[in-house]
Chains A and B, each alone.
Chain A
């Protein structure tokens, strides 16, 4: 078999390029598109210059399946079929798959995954930026296990540093830019006996005062304001220690904004802190006009950080893709995925490929999967339509399962929207089978997908995530790599001779 194949290939090669034009498929647009891509790949040059800037985009929980969902959503919103749509990062020249497990967890958590990217080493479940001997929840193991952060190294190199997120600024992914803690949940307090430890909000303001963090934009004001005190957003503070970190920050000359209009009016030559909400920022689907979008935040951050002629490091997190997936609410996840892509496109426009390394990845995947077999153009947020025998578009027939009922394209393995209901005796069962489902119900913004295993919250999964890159040394991302390797490429790129 192998020899026959080899002989055929040799015959084709011997015939040369002339015969390729004679192929019956040569006039197909699929064929010519493939030839065009091949030509551009043959022209590809590695960029071995030194990176002035590094931007690390992380969509939390946006693994390959979640990214696929966002691609189809964006493409269909633009009027296309969806699957042939190209998101901004998918046009980047370099690609790798990333293994996301933690030191002690096959299924990763967002704290050590972000920490791996920011320190160059894998970390332990629920810890941020501590070495492998530290223990979750044991503050006594923080001393001696604190790792050096990429942000600290960049500050030492004279660069500016920023963290932007749609989650709370004290949440795992942004916290990995500036914090070191034995428990990711110590966002505004530590246990009483931990007198040498600092909560994450305190660490963030300390980093801003120290100059290792120059701009921080996102949500989470309640963790910076004392209990009994109103936050700048009109809500209630949560800090039990009575310290008002926002007022402390302002006293140190850090500019503060509580909404989009205030952000636009700030003096960007000074350090900038902005928090639009008391907990996470809004899902893009629910975001009021007074709240900056992720792209708005990225625009402000790059405008500010670019003032430093020595360059910058910026981490950008689309934090709520993860939250919507946890809620098995696929529609909000894909809408936030589109907002993530918009922010990437803007960052790409505002920077120069020659001197800026842009990395787009996720920290982990979810227990998400796509059902089939759906025809082209099937709404990614809805029910699966059958493949048509003629033409391209799907047929008008919904695909039905063995129970005679239709199902959505997007599904999750576990979560609160399980088809199994708790019975009076405490067992779980589905006496009536799966719920009936209409297209209108499936496409509702609040619809939660049918899932199998009942759980309070849908879980992450250990499946690889993709990494897309462009700019100096982006070609070092190739193959299947460990997540902590991302740091090593960033560090090489900014130090290359």
Chain B
């Protein structure tokens, strides 16, 4: 009885996850797709500048509350050790500027972020966050 109930629950849980992935799969990128070894931007990133992309990752805990901004990390990151100006740019994070104020998702829950890829140095006047690449006009959802 217990096994049947568990199987039912698993099937019920798996179905929406599968459909979400199936929809996103053809165009979902990983953060590492944006970089070459050594940290330079990949051809794919350069070719995608200005285009709307979907990138998988995790939402780092917010730097500021109630902001249309979060940091997408390629692995769960409870703090953002690189989130300060002047440090060499890491290829493990991507700033995401969202259409709406961010509703925080726990840092170890997989998400998909979709937005327009923008490149070039930029210091956020609100947060002081410095970046060389980012998503603009973004939306996000649990993966």
A416 near B107: Cβ-Cβ < 8 Å: yes
Partner of B76, one of A290, A291, A403, A416: A416
Residues of chain A within 8 A of B3, CB atoms compared: 404
- B9-17, B43-51, B111-119: which lies at the A interface? B9-17
| Docked complex: A411-426 residues within 8 A CB-CB of B | 416-418, 421-423
Check: A327 CB closer than 8 A to any chain B CB.
Answer: yes
Known A-B contacts A418-B108, A432-B13, A446-B30; the reply to A222 vs B38 at CB < 8 A is no
**Chain A CB within 10 Å — which of B6, B31, B76, B87 has the most?**
B76
B88 near A235: Cβ-Cβ < 8 Å: yes
How far in angstroms is the closest Cβ of chain A from B40? 9
Residues of chain A within 8 A of B88, CB atoms compared: 222, 233, 235-236, 277-279
Residues of chain A within 8 A of B91, CB atoms compared: 286
Q: Please, how many residues of chain B have a CB less than 8 angstroms from a CB on the other chain?
A: 28
Contact with A along B56-74 (1 / 0, CB 8 A): 0000000000000000001
B75 near A457: Cβ-Cβ < 8 Å: no
How far in angstroms is the closest Cβ of chain B from A430? 10
Residues of chain B within 8 A of A423, CB atoms compared: 106
Partner of A329, one of B36, B75, B107: B75
Q: CA of A445 to CA of B91 in the docked complex: distance in angstroms? A: 14
Chain B, Cβ-Cβ closest to A417 = B76
A456 near B86: Cβ-Cβ < 8 Å: no
How far in angstroms is the closest Cβ of chain B from A437? 11
B74 near A416: Cβ-Cβ < 8 Å: no
Residues of chain A within 8 A of B37, CB atoms compared: 282, 286-289
Q: CA of A289 to CA of B30 in the docked complex: distance in angstroms? A: 22
B36 near A288: Cβ-Cβ < 8 Å: yes
Q: CA of A222 to CA of B86 in the docked complex: distance in angstroms? A: 10
Partner of B108, one of A235, A236, A327, A416: A416
How far in angstroms is the closest Cβ of chain A from B104? 9
B78 near A455: Cβ-Cβ < 8 Å: yes
Give the bracket for the number of chain A residues in contact with chain B: 35 or more
Check: B102 CB closer than 8 A to any chain A CB.
Answer: no
Q: CA of A423 to CA of B91 in the docked complex: distance in angstroms? A: 29
Known A-B contacts A278-B88, A327-B75, A446-B32; the reply to A421 vs B109 at CB < 8 A is yes
Q: Is the interface of A mostly helix, strand, loop or mixed?
A: loop
Q: CA of A481 to CA of B78 in the docked complex: distance in angstroms? A: 37
Chain A, Cβ-Cβ closest to B109 = A421
Check: A436 CB closer than 8 A to any chain B CB.
Answer: yes
B86 near A238: Cβ-Cβ < 8 Å: yes
Known A-B contacts A416-B107, A418-B108, A436-B14; the reply to A236 vs B75 at CB < 8 A is no
Chain A, Cβ-Cβ closest to B32 = A446
B78 near A403: Cβ-Cβ < 8 Å: no
Known A-B contacts A286-B37, A417-B108, A421-B109; the reply to A236 vs B86 at CB < 8 A is yes
Contact with B along A291-324 (1 / 0, CB 8 A): 1000000000000000000000000000000000
Contact with B along A324-335 (1 / 0, CB 8 A): 000101000000
Check: B24 CB closer than 8 A to any chain A CB.
Answer: no
Check: A454 CB closer than 8 A to any chain B CB.
Answer: yes
Q: CA of A311 to CA of B79 in the docked complex: distance in angstroms? A: 45
Check: B7 CB closer than 8 A to any chain A CB.
Answer: yes
How far in angstroms is the closest Cβ of chain B from A417? 5
Chain A, Cβ-Cβ closest to B13 = A432
Chain B, Cβ-Cβ closest to A422 = B106
How far in angstroms is the closest Cβ of chain B from A90? 30
How far in angstroms is the closest Cβ of chain B from A331? 11
Residues of chain B within 8 A of A353, CB atoms compared: none
Q: CA of A227 to CA of B86 in the docked complex: distance in angstroms? A: 8
| Docked complex: A170-227 residues within 8 A CB-CB of B | 222, 227
How far in angstroms is the closest Cβ of chain B from A326? 11
Check: B77 CB closer than 8 A to any chain A CB.
Answer: yes
B7 near A454: Cβ-Cβ < 8 Å: no
Partner of B74, one of A238, A446, A455: A446
Known A-B contacts A404-B7, A421-B108; the reply to A416 vs B75 at CB < 8 A is yes
27 A–B contact pairs at CB < 8 A?
A222-B87, A233-B88, A236-B87, A238-B86, A238-B87, A277-B88, A278-B88, A279-B87, A282-B38, A286-B37, A327-B75, A404-B3, A404-B6, A404-B10, A416-B77, A416-B108, A417-B108, A421-B106, A422-B107, A423-B106, A436-B13, A445-B32, A446-B31, A446-B74, A448-B75, A454-B78, A455-B78
Known: A277-B88, A286-B37, A416-B78. 18 other contacts (CB 8 A): A238-B87, A278-B88, A282-B37, A288-B37, A289-B37, A403-B6, A404-B10, A416-B75, A416-B107, A416-B108, A417-B108, A422-B107, A432-B13, A436-B13, A446-B74, A446-B75, A448-B75, A457-B78
Closest 9 CB pairs of A and B: A288-B38, A456-B78, A416-B76, A235-B88, A422-B106, A288-B37, A421-B106, A278-B88, A416-B78
Binding site for A on B (CB under 8 A): 3, 6-7, 10, 13-14, 17, 30-32, 36-38, 74-79, 86-88, 91, 106-110
